[in-house]
């Protein structure tokens, strides 16, 4: 599993836009953060597959699930992208399905109201007890799971309990709807919540999850 987390405006982000963004990206990405996500993901795919960045293309299924394809026919991994505020996050794996979600805390947001509409009863109780930080942990975990399945907002806001027991600032394997999942939640910076959801392909063993961050900080 390869993960990336970059702030917009940093030197590496500027370099990525110049080096790996394409005219197609510019036509399909209405927001600068979305354009940056695509450029960074293309750079990461090029490095981990030892291929040319210009050979990677991104498209969207009707469900909203992003998919990668390689013009030279290389095996394409599952991908996921997210951005919020000044942060962009992206992920890829060849071993199953993956979803990533990042949220920058908005203190004026109606956290309890959104939780009442979207979360399960135990998740709503957790938000009521622990406040906005728990809301964002649950929301990003639910979003990451929904992104991995391709179900999108319909699943993220379906009112069913999934992650009332976390993980919060940790990771764990768990069973969700008869499937094996690895979930991770972390706060990379104060007021920023990041979650990853991975569902391994059939036959893949569960255990310690190797994570490779890209770019690697020197």
pLDDT (0 to 100) of residue 27: 82
CA 22, chain centre distance (Å): 22
pTM of the model: 0.94
Confidence of residue 132 (pLDDT cuts 50, 70, 90): very high
pLDDT at 218 over 50: no
Domains, the chain: 1-218 (3.90.470.20)
For range 163-183, the mean pLDDT: 94
99: closest CA among 194, 202, 211?
194
Residue 93 vs residues 41, 79, 197: alpha-carbon distances, Å: 12, 7, 11
Do residues 76 and 70 lie in contact, with contact meaning Cβ atoms separated by under 8 Å?
Answer: yes
The DSSP symbol for 214 reads S
Are 63 and 151 in contact by the 8 Å Cβ rule? The answer is: yes
Task: Over range 4-24, report the average pLDDT.
Answer: 93
Residue 29 has pLDDT above 80, yes or no: no
How many Å apart are CA 192 and CA 203, to the nearest integer? 34
Q: What percent of the chain has pLDDT over 70?
A: 97
Average pLDDT, the chain: 92
pLDDT greater than 70 at residue 43: yes
Nearest to 176 by CA among 160, 193, 188: 160
> Does pLDDT of 161 surpass 80?
yes
Q: Nearest to residue 114, comparing CAs of 137, 145, 142, 135?
A: 135
């Amino acid at each position: 599993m390869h993960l990336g987390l970059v702030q917009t405006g940093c030197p590496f982000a500027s370099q990525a836009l110049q080096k790996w963004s394409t005219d197609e990206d510019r036509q399909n990405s209405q927001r600068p953060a979305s354009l940056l996500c695509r450029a960074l993901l293309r750079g990461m795919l090029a490095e981990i597959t030892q291929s040319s960045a210009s050979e990677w293309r991104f498209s969207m299924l009707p469900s909203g699930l992003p998919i990668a394809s390689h013009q030279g026919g290389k095996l394409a991994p599952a991908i996921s992208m997210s951005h919020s505020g000044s942060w962009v996050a992206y992920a890829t794996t060849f071993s199953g399905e993956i979803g990533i979600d990042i949220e920058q805390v908005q203190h004026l947001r109606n956290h309890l109201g959104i939780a009442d509409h979207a979360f399960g009863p135990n998740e709503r109780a957790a938000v009521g007890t622990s406040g906005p930080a728990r809301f964002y942990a649950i929301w990003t975990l639910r979003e990451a799971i929904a992104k991995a399945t391709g179900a999108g907002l319909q699943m993220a806001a379906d009112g069913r309990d999934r992650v009332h027991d976390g993980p919060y600032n940790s990771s764990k394997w768990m069973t969700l709807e008869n499937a094996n999942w690895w979930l991770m939640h972390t706060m990379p910076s104060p007021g920023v919540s990041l979650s990853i959801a991975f569902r391994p392909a059939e036959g893949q063993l569960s255990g310690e999850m190797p994570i490779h961050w890209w770019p690697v900080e020197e």
